[in-house]
Copies of this chain bind each other. A is one copy, B any other.
Amino acid sequence: MKPPRLGIAMILSGPSGAGKSTVCNLLRQRNPGLCFSVSCTTREPRNGEVDGRDYYFIDQKNFQRKIKNNEFVEYAEVHGNFYGTLKSEIIERVRAGKDVLLDIDIQGAFHIRESSKQYSLLEKCTEFVFLGPPSFGELEKRLRGRGTEKEEVIMKRLETAKSELDHWRDYDYLVINKEVEQTVKDLETLFDILHKSTKRLEDSGFYT
């Protein structure tokens, strides 16, 4: 017999170049039962992006209505576009014992942490994982390796990444992404082990 339990909402965050998207994609591919939180945005879809898979593409008016209706667990404006995480992508799923993965930037993760302090279900279910590069030098190599940007764009991104790296202390776990297969295994193991955490186990019926 197993006690009923809440699902985990794993917030995976880290600096640009740490490999978040690659890790998330492989993790989802290998774990079809794992839910993924799709964000809302007001920006235009890029080539190949699919509504409802990559983002929910909505207009400004719709986004503002959702803000007013308190539908977001966090949202932010970046370069004139809005991005937000819907409560509905997380709450009902974790209540039903399903695990949810969130691929989110440092700022968004910070806002979810703040929200969760006000909302005990969210506090119980969220686990904050910082995906870090093996070193700053390695991050620089990866960002330069893309080879598509001008030096000044690269310098700007490196500066941002450097300040973002400092935030690993604010997370529950630090996972170093040295090799993507191993990182995905580490995250799978993290899910397994965190299922043994008592804070998400429900009292009713266990050992009685």
Q: Interface of chain A, helix or strand or loop or mixed?
A: mixed
The answer to whether A169 touches B198, judged by C-beta atoms less than 8 angstroms apart, is yes
Residues of chain B within 8 A (CB-CB) of A135 are 1, 207
The answer to whether A189 touches B186, judged by C-beta atoms less than 8 angstroms apart, is no
Residues of chain B within 8 A (CB-CB) of A194 are 193
The answer to whether B196 touches A173, judged by C-beta atoms less than 8 angstroms apart, is yes
Chain B residue with the shortest CB-CB distance to A173: B196
CA distance A23 to B150 in the complex (A): 58
The answer to whether A168 touches B134, judged by C-beta atoms less than 8 angstroms apart, is no
CA distance A197 to B174 in the complex (A): 6
The answer to whether A193 touches B189, judged by C-beta atoms less than 8 angstroms apart, is yes
A125-184: which have CB < 8 Å to B?
130, 132, 134-136, 165-166, 168-169, 171-176
Identify which of B1, B172, B186, B201 contacts A197 (C-beta below 8 A).
Answer: B172
Closest chain B CB from A164 CB (angstroms): 10
Closest chain B CB from A142 CB (angstroms): 14
Identify which of B2, B134, B171, B190 contacts A198 (C-beta below 8 A).
Answer: B171
Closest chain B CB from A128 CB (angstroms): 9
Residues of chain B within 8 A (CB-CB) of A196 are 173-175, 186, 190
The answer to whether A203 touches B136, judged by C-beta atoms less than 8 angstroms apart, is no
The answer to whether A130 touches B169, judged by C-beta atoms less than 8 angstroms apart, is no
CA distance A189 to B193 in the complex (A): 7
Instruction: Say yes or no: A132-B207 contact (C-beta < 8 A), given A174-B198, A197-B173.
Output: yes
The 7 residue pairs across chains A and B that have the minimum distance between CB atoms: A165-B207, A193-B193, A173-B196, A174-B198, A136-B207, A171-B198, A190-B193
A-B contact pairs, 16 of them (CB 8 A): A1-B134, A1-B135, A3-B174, A130-B198, A132-B207, A136-B208, A168-B206, A168-B207, A172-B199, A173-B196, A174-B198, A186-B193, A189-B189, A190-B196, A193-B193, A193-B194
